[in-house]
Amino acid sequence: MGNMSDLKEREDKLQGMGTSLLRKEDAKFIRGQGTYVDDIKLPGMLFGAIVRSPYAHARIKSIDKSKALACPGVIAVLTADDLKPVNLHWMPTIGGDVQAVLADKKVCFQMQEVAMVLATDRYAAADGADLVEVDYEELPAIVDPRKSLDKDAPIIREDIVDKKDLSHGPRTHPNHIFTWEAGDKAAADTAFKNAEIVVREEILNPRVHPCPLETCGCVASFNKATGYLTVYMTTQAPHLVRTVLAMLSGVAESKIRVVGGDIGGGFGNKVPIYPGYVVAIVASIVTGVPIKWIESRIDNISTTGFARDYHGVGELAADKNGRIKGLRFTALADHGAFNSHVSATKLPAGLFSICTGSYDIPNAYCRVDAVFTNKAPGGVAYRCSLRVTEAVYLIERMIDVLAQKLGIDKAEIRRRNFVKSEQFPYTTSLGWTLDSGAYHPALEKVLDAVDYKGLRAEQAKKRADPNSPTLMGIGLATFTEIVGAGPTKVCDILGIGLFDSCEIRVHPTGGVIARLGTMTQGQGHATTYAQIIATELGLPASDIVVEEGDTDKSPYGAGTWGSRSTPVSGAATAQAARKIKDKAKKIAAHLLEVAEGDLEWEIDRFTVKGNPGQHKTMKEICLVSHTGNLPAGMEQGLNAVSYYDPPNLTYPFGTYLCVVDIDKYTGESKVRRFYALDDCGTRINPMIIEGQIHGGLTEAFAVAFGQQIPFDDNGNHLGNSLMDYFLPTAMETPHWETDHTVTPCPHHPIGAKGVAESPHVGGIPCFSNAVIDAFAHLGVTHMDMPHSAYRVWQQCQALGINKR
């Protein structure tokens, strides 16, 4: 082994895993040199604008195109009747349903797509869209999912009224989609029957929207001479989209190219295929010219993938010491007018059954009933893995409710119920096997860091003072997430397994190009994947180029969503690098004239055991691999491809603590302190992890304190612009304190678990728990989000504590 200063110098040069390396991809964005879909300009390109319904539920009596077609610049107006000859007026959804591409005879939600106007520029297209005259007959609308299954409820989906099964089991009503269950109901019921203490609470996860910086859009270009279709689009999963487009269009998948390019945020919103994409593609195939469709912000909030809208009931059974004996969670899921929720085929309610959280709960049962309403479809996992946020919110709220009922401190009740470190791997009563964890040390580290006892003492003093103008709340959330959508035995989309891939090519001088099946939207992939390869191959991260998002270049993969990049693609990257390293070792042994077993790896080279001066660096091996001086029968080059299908999902966890001060007279909540400890296993780039946590916590803050998509009784959307929908700025966003522990994932090649979604999943219940804790001494057990100043003021008013 070399001297320590030499080893450190070589290690530092690599900038591999564990280094806070500045993000490689940021330079072009800072300089305004990113390429977004709306930057694409192709010769002869036409622009599409969508005509949308003003009604949530109505029959289409007629569509008059004449005034629009007379508008200067308008080339065509497409309706469902124009798509019928190619059988593309309906399309399959990820949720196993079908969805109208353009409304056929009836609209089922406000802002539903009715027609697309094609014009020579976007202004003419917008003018033409305003001139399309649609005669509607308004019908009664359902916006409350609890009324959707009433006997006299209006039938929303007449196209499937006679279908008894929508691929997820029998339906009980024309507006019913599926019933999904997990766990042992009989065992859970027995636990409740015998329990000393039972608590129950109705808990709403309101409908929210990810609202990424860039709205959705595409440029579709069909070449009639070659039969080749190229689609530039805002997608988080280019390969999956290409497969679906092949199924829809009849164009061979080998002749379809999907290019993701730069994407201004995704957060789940850019996983589904939206009608605008399909109409633009059909229009390009028919006209033979490129078609661009870019939605407005109002269109984006109104019609693209929402999140949550889960109406839950949580129940816990426990003994008098607070030890949980049973859990029952049920939810009514509002899926909107079409079941296009992004969920794995086998798991229509996603990973909701992670709702036992970090706790050793012997008996559990959960059930989700999904229904149609006259709202926009397209439910997505807003910065979480398929309903995990809803699950974690339920268990973390109910743990607080139980603690309050028993008069036990909220940190203590968590200690008593945690899965212990020696119990891992731990299989929950709902069937998931938690890979590794150390929940007790994480909790204690946070409590010590914030002086939890001191905070509780301060709170008690304030509660004892009737003249205190503020209420103080302390929120805890000790969560376990489930990420890395991947194991094909559990997860697939439309039958396609959620494995992922990496192809690495090493050049003679040691430069590397790596291509992956994921799709970055700001996660820092170009940096973190390069750091994995740098550590594995001993080649500097600065010399490693990472490419994603172009289906003509990268190997097949399921894309980036559900926090699957590091758990799945990161593993594929490490495995591909190790294939190259194994070949490099054979070359080194050949050059050094020793057996492979006589070599050991040292940062960036193979050395002869006991004689470190005798070595071959990876850069030397790279050059030799492209010459003829190789072991007999060995091919030139250092290239490898790896496809990784994980044996299990990964389970990052954390402990968050929030302190809020609430003004009794205005209802304004100020976050005094937020301390976030995350354990994501092996940490690849601490600085990028920090950034992802800050971003996730900011979105959690938005959901907890302001985000909600409201509707009136007629299905009118009441919050579809940024004048109404809350996006926090630097002015509102609290200061974040971050911390970590490291508990590697035992089945992952580098021990990584994923982190970007954890702060959103854990942050929301932590904020909510803090606000509700401020009122706990007054007998309040639950308050639904969002905790806006007005809603909190209403609670103060109801309690009569805001009288001066």
* Residues with active-site annotation: 236, 383-384, 757
Contact 556, 548 (CB under 8 A): no
- Using CA atoms, how far apart are residues 437 and 360, in angstroms rounded to an integer? 12
Nearest CA to 355 out of 404, 401, 315, 382 is that of 315
**Half-sphere exposure of residue 391, counting CA atoms within 13 Å on the CB side?**
30
Q: What DSSP assignment string belongs to 381-428?
A: -TTSSSSHHHHHHHHHHHHHHHHHHHT--HHHHHHHHBPPGGG-SEE-
- E strands of 69-196, at which residues? 74-78, 90-92, 98-100, 106-107, 113-119, 133-138, 176-183
Nearest to 640 by CA among 502, 546, 533, 511: 502
Rounded distance between C-alpha atoms, residue 322 and residue 120, angstroms: 68
CA 450, 442, 206, 204 torsion-angle sign: negative
d(CA 84, CA 102): 10
Contacts of 421 (CB under 8 A, 6+ apart): 437, 438, 439, 440, 441
Instruction: Report how far residue 696's alpha carbon sits from residue 760's, in angstroms, rounded to the nearest whole number.
Output: 5
Q: Where are the beta strands (DSSP E) in 492-598?
A: 492-493, 496-497, 500-506, 512-516, 544-547
CA–CA distances in Å: residue 370 to residues 148, 341, 577, 625: 10, 10, 44, 57
In the DSSP assignment, the letter for residue 735 is: P
Rounded to whole angstroms, how far apart are CA atoms 428 and 431?
A: 5
Is the CB of residue 414 less than 8 Å from the CB of residue 653? no
DSSP states along 604-615? TEEEETTEEEEE
Asked if the bond preceding 425 is cis, omega within 30° of 0, the reply is: yes
- Rounded to the nearest angstrom, the gap between the alpha carbon of residue 366 and the centroid of all alpha carbons in its chain is 22
User: How far from 318 is each of 298, 305, 406, 570, CA to CA, in Å?
Assistant: 47, 38, 10, 41
Tokens 């590091």 belong to which residue?
566
What whole-number distance in Å separates Cα of residue 662 and Cα of residue 668?
6
Structure tokens at 150: 């009433």
HEC states along 20-51? Answer: CCCCCCHHHHHCCCCCCHHHCCCCCCEEEEEE
Paired tokens of 351 = 């990973």
Is residue 388 within 8 Å of 358, Cβ to Cβ?
Answer: no
How many residues comprise the chain?
804
The Cα-based distances of 163 to 106, 127, 570, 664 in angstroms read 18, 40, 42, 53
Look at residues 101, 178, 150, 218 and name the one whose alpha carbon lies nearest to residue 341: 178
Residue 734 preceded by cis peptide, ω within 30: no
| Residue that is written with structure tokens 């409740």 in the block | 192
CA–CA separation, 399 vs 772, rounded Å? 13
Q: What is the CA radius of gyration of the chain?
A: 28
d(CA 43, CA 92): 32
Q: Parallel, antiparallel, or unpaired for β 496-497 and 492-493?
A: antiparallel
